[in-house]
Amino acid sequence: MTNHHDAIVTAGVDFASQASNTATCSITWTSAGAVITELTSSCDDNFILELVSRVTKVGIDVPLGWPSPFVEALRMHAHDGSWPANYEHVTNLKDYRLRSTDNWVHETLKLPLPLSVATDRIAIPTMRAAALFARITPRPPLDGSGRVIEVYPPPHLRVGASRQRATRARRTLSDAPRSSKTSRTRHLDGSSSPPSNELRASRMTMSLTR
């Protein structure tokens, strides 16, 4: 029998601007493996808030904030119509369009630039997320240290697992028994030795939101 004393539950949210296009996946992790315990579509704000309250970590695939220079520029413009004096439309527009984390993903991992939360349509679900998480008391930190973390799936596909291994792991999870008898369940990375709780939570939130 599986020992559930060390079980943790993590969730991934495929977040959209509308509830009808928002879905979640919850996984229970034990020393024996991982079992998908809940798949939900058409998730409204109240459902997501309830989900956050009962899991260890929630990964959400939209930005949790805006570029600091962009926020400051909007503050100045709203105050008196001014704009940062150091703004150069050709040379440093990227600093206003993208966050430091976006630039790091692009420059370090050699991936395409993420969508700009300042100038692309991803800002719409981001505003929904901001309003949603503002309802949580105390409000979750936005740096990944709290229960809610931002995830960006493409880097995981590049550095965390090959597409082939990820596909094999997903198939294994789909075929796994959904009971306490999880001895045949392999882990998300395709390995057979159980990872630590912290590592299991990290792997899940990086791989299940897309």
Which range, 75-89, 134-148, 150-164, has the best average confidence (pLDDT)? 75-89
Confidence of residue 74 (pLDDT cuts 50, 70, 90): very high
* Radius of gyration (C-alpha) of the chain in whole angstroms: 19
Average of pLDDT values for 42-50? Answer: 97
Percent of the chain residues past pLDDT 70, beyond the cut: 71
pLDDT digits (tens, 9 = 90+) for 182-196: 333 334 444 444 444
pLDDT digits (tens, 9 = 90+) for 99-141: 999 999 899 888 888 999 999 999 999 999 999 999 998 998 9
What local confidence, expressed as pLDDT, does residue 154 receive? 80
Q: How far apart are CA 129 and CA 62, in angstroms?
A: 8
Say whether 179 sits in a helix, a strand or coil.
coil
**Of the candidates 205, 209, 149, 159, the residue with the CA atom closest to the CA atom of residue 8:** 205
Q: How far apart are CA 62 and CA 56, in angstroms?
A: 19
Q: Which of the two residues, 158 and 78, has the higher pLDDT score?
A: 78
**CB 177 within 8 Å of CB 184:** yes
- Give yes or no for residue 144 having a pLDDT over 70: yes
Contacts of 9 (CB under 8 A, 6+ apart): 26, 27, 28, 29, 37, 54, 55, 56
Residue with tokens 């790091």: 104
Sign of CA dihedral 143, 162, 117, 59: negative
**In the chain, where the domains are located:** 8-62+147-207, 68-120
Q: How far apart are CA 206 and CA 187, in angstroms?
A: 14
Say whether 162 sits in a helix, a strand or coil.
coil
Supply the pTM of this predicted model: 0.72
What local confidence, expressed as pLDDT, does residue 87 receive? 95
What local confidence, expressed as pLDDT, does residue 167 receive? 62
